[in-house]
């Protein structure tokens, strides 16, 4: 994988420094822009254009939603990963409507932050595992579907496809087992294999795959 050029926009310098330390630990990441608010970020983008912006939502002068909307219009190739302490649906929905390709909480583990950046750079959506399946479907509907690039197709057998569809309906392992006359342990095994085959780390990723490949519809 080639170098991924990054920008960080956050008004808290201590948080920026901590985030930089996490990102700079990755050989393929290069931080080229650092800003304290959305307006400063936009001014810097005219000189240096990163691949991914890690964008705080709440900032003075110009907040993350306004800056994201501007980037979507004027720098469409730049992907935005929203960063926030807020996990309420309204913040997530508003950032995704503004054009963000992902949303992650500021207290996320370093590994998740790295995964989120890599996913967004690969032109896929990244959703935190705390998001409900219903909200994932809503957000994808708001954004007009899913891009064709990125996540590759894998061959699922009939039972795997059936279980994936039920997972996307937010059925628990026990409910799936009852519907398909299987043991809970068997369902757990299928779920594990689905994560491995599809390459997803959470249910949101399974939902994205299922929508993208016509297994379920929005």
Residue-level pLDDT, tens digit, the chain, 218 residues: 579 999 999 999 999 999 999 999 999 999 999 999 999 999 999 899 999 999 999 999 999 999 999 999 999 999 999 998 876 777 888 888 898 988 898 888 999 999 999 989 988 888 776 666 767 777 776 665 555 444 556 889 999 999 999 998 889 999 999 999 999 999 999 999 999 998 877 788 888 888 888 888 76
Parse the chain into domains and list their residue ranges: 4-128, 133-218
3 state SS for the chain: CCCEEEEEECCCHHHHHHHHHHHHCCCCEEEEEEECCHHHHHHHHCCCCCCEEEEECCCCCCCHHHHHHHHHHHCCCCEEEEEECCCCHHHHHHHHHHCCCEEEECCCCHHHHHHHHHHHHCCCCEECCCCCHHHHHHHHHHCCCCCCCCCCCCCCCHHHHHHHHHHHCCCCHHHHHHHHCCCHHHHHHHHHHHHHHHCCCCHHHHHHHHHHCCCCCC
Q: For domain 133-218, which CATH number applies: 3.10.20.600, 3.40.50.2300, 3.40.50.300, 3.10.310.40?
A: 3.40.50.2300
CATH class of 4-128: alpha beta
């Amino acid at each position: 994988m080639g170098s991924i050029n990054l920008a960080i926009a956050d008004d808290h310098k201590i948080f920026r420094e901590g985030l930089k330390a996490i990102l700079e630990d990755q050989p393929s990441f290069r931080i080229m822009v650092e800003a304290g608010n959305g307006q400063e970020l936009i001014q810097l983008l005219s000189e240096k254009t990163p691949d991914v912006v890690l964008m705080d939502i709440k900032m003075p002068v110009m907040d993350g939603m306004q800056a994201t909307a501007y980037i979507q219009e004027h720098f469409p190739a730049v992907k935005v990963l929203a960063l926030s302490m807020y996990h309420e649906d309204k913040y997530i929905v508003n950032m995704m409507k503004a054009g963000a390709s992902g949303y992650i909480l500021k207290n996320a583990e370093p590994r998740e932050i790295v995964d989120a950046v890599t996913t967004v750079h690969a032109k896929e959506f990244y959703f935190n595992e705390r998001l409900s399946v219903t909200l994932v479907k809503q957000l994808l509907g708001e954004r007009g579907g899913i891009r064709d690039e990125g996540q590759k197709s894998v061959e699922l057998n009939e039972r795997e496809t059936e279980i994936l569809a039920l997972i996307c309906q937010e059925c628990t392992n026990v409910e799936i087992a009852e519907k398909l006359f299987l043991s809970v342990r068997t369902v757990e095994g299928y779920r594990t294999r689905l994560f491995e085959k599809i390459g997803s780390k959470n249910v949101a990723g399974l939902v994205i795959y299922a929508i993208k490949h016509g297994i379920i519809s929005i």
